[in-house]
Amino acid sequence: MKAVVIRAFGAPAGLEVVDLPAPVPGPGQVVVATEAIGVGGVDAVIRRGALAAHGFREGHLLGSEVAGTVTAVGEGVDSSWTGRRVWAFTGLSGGYAEQAVARVEDVLALPDGLSGADAVTLGGSGAVAHFALRKAHFAPGETVLVRGAAGSIGITAVQLAARSGAGAVAVTTSSEERGARLRELGATHVLDRSGRSGAPDAPTGFDVVIDVVGGPGLPDALDALHADGRYVLVGVVGGQPPEDFGMRLVHGFRKSLTFATFSADTVPGPDLQAVRAEQFAEAARGELRTVVHDVLPLDRAADAHRAMDAGEVFGRVVLTP
């Protein structure tokens, strides 16, 4: 089967299309013939070699979520899965291929009317947005800031906050055009990446911050929390925050602030799958929007990574075998 591996760490040109043996499902596993493959920010991090110390070596087969049809099941898996259209989490490897392996508990049947591209755009990210807002104890009427809203997590977080009756949904983004697209999805105020806005009515404080970015701007965003404000960091696409960022919390002592990280790894699998199933159904009914930036053939995986590296992607790039 055709697959894409990291031949050399670094630039996207280090990705290589190769021919690999088709996978065989082990006990508790299924094989999915892929129709859509999600390209995530973490794939670029692995490609650059930044996770080499965590066991990700050159030769690694990238990709963590796919949609397609189950073609084979391993020992202990109900044979009725065969032939079903599914979304599947493959871990942090194995997705950039014509056939991918997943544990059956990481597989979810797709509702009619949901495309594979939409499924891999929403599957991993939508649940993160849902549980991050829950972790923040977000309540109707509250003012929310989503930092880094133009990715799949932020796009879902904006919609969930808006439809749950947020008092305001502010977003950070890098251009007016992207801001206009986020307004269509429910954002009420558009800020630049540093959190500033020229608009006189822009909120200057927030009850909740959902942060995909982290980076050097994190302490200023902490300062923007209202009393009893809650900050949930879900990603660090802008790099690590300053090591002493916690001092801002201490300086804001009398505001009773809360800072939390959130990782989907801490959510029980069945809870993640239940939220995903609900979001897939909502997306199929048109109640939750997914934004597919581009669909490219698998052999153009390097171009997908170039677009991510250049900051051109709004939503998610999807590969097709």
Ligand X SMILES: NC(=O)c1ccc[n+]([C@@H]2O[C@H](COP(=O)([O-])OP(=O)(O)OC[C@H]3O[C@@H](n4cnc5c(N)ncnc54)[C@H](OP(=O)(O)O)[C@@H]3O)[C@@H](O)[C@H]2O)c1
122 binds ligand X (CB under 6 A): no
From the list 12, 38, 116, 124, which residue makes contact with ligand X (rule: CB under 6 A)? 124
CA-CA distance, 227 to 203, in Å (whole number)? 14
Phi, psi of 146 (to 5 degrees): -110, 110
Question: Of residues 150, 191, 275, 317, which one binds ligand X by CB under 6 A?
Answer: 150
39 contributes a contact to ligand X by CB under 6 A = no
- Candidates 2-10, 106-114, 120-128, 251-259 — which segment interacts with ligand X by CB under 6 A? 120-128
Distance CA 155, CA 314 (A): 9
Q: Supply the minimum distance, in Å, between the C-beta of residue 131 and ligand X.
A: 8
Largest CA distance in the chain: 62
Which one of 67, 70, 73, 128 is in contact with ligand X (CB under 6 A)? 128
Round to whole Å and give the CA distance between 83 and 68.
9
42 binds ligand X per the rule CB under 6 A: yes
Cα–Cα dist 118/43, whole Å:
18
> Shortest distance, CB of residue 9 to ligand X, whole angstroms?
18
Nearest distance in Å: CB 30, ligand X: 22
Residue 1 or 51 with smaller CB distance to ligand X: 51
Strand, coil or helix: 243: coil
In SS3 terms, 48-84 reads as: HCCCHHHCCCCCCECCCEEEEEEEEECCCCCHHHCCC
Site residues for ligand X, window 161-200 (CB under 6 A)? Answer: 173-174, 178, 193
- Using rule CB under 6 A, residue 153 touches ligand X: yes
Choose which of 151, 186, 195, 229 interacts with ligand X (CB under 6 A).
151
Supply 85's token pair. Answer: 């259209």
CB of 117 to ligand X, least distance (A): 15
Sheet strands (E) in 143-291 = 143-147, 168-172, 189-191, 206-211, 225-233, 258-261
203 is a site residue for ligand X (CB under 6 A):
no
**Residue among 81 and 131 whose Cβ is closer to ligand X:** 131
Q: How far apart are CA 64 and CA 62, in angstroms?
A: 7
12 binds ligand X (CB under 6 A): no
Strands 292-297 and 206-211: unpaired
Positive/negative CA dihedral, 109, 159, 124, 233: negative
Near ligand X in 225-284, by CB under 6 A: 234-238, 262-264
Please check whether residue 224 is in contact with residue 197, taking contact to mean a CB–CB distance below 8 angstroms. Answer: no
Is 67 among the residues that bind ligand X (CB under 6 A)? Answer: no
Q: For ligand X, how many residues bind (rule: CB under 6 A)?
A: 28
Q: Hey, how many other C-beta atoms are within 10 angstroms of the C-beta on 208?
A: 27
C-beta separation of 114 from 123 below 8 A: no
Q: How far is the CB of 163 from ligand X (least distance, A)?
A: 19
Stretches 34-42, 160-168, 248-256, 269-277: which one binds ligand X (CB under 6 A)?
A: 34-42
Question: By CB under 6 A, which span of 36-44, 81-89, 201-209, 271-279 interacts with ligand X?
Answer: 36-44
90 binds ligand X (CB under 6 A): no
The one segment of 20-28, 88-96, 149-157, 290-298 that binds ligand X by CB under 6 A = 149-157
Q: Give the containing element (helix H, strand E) for 122.
A: helix 116-135
- Summarize as ranges the residues that interact with ligand X (CB under 6 A): 40-42, 124-125, 128, 148, 150-154, 173-174, 178, 193, 212-213, 215, 234-238, 262-264, 311
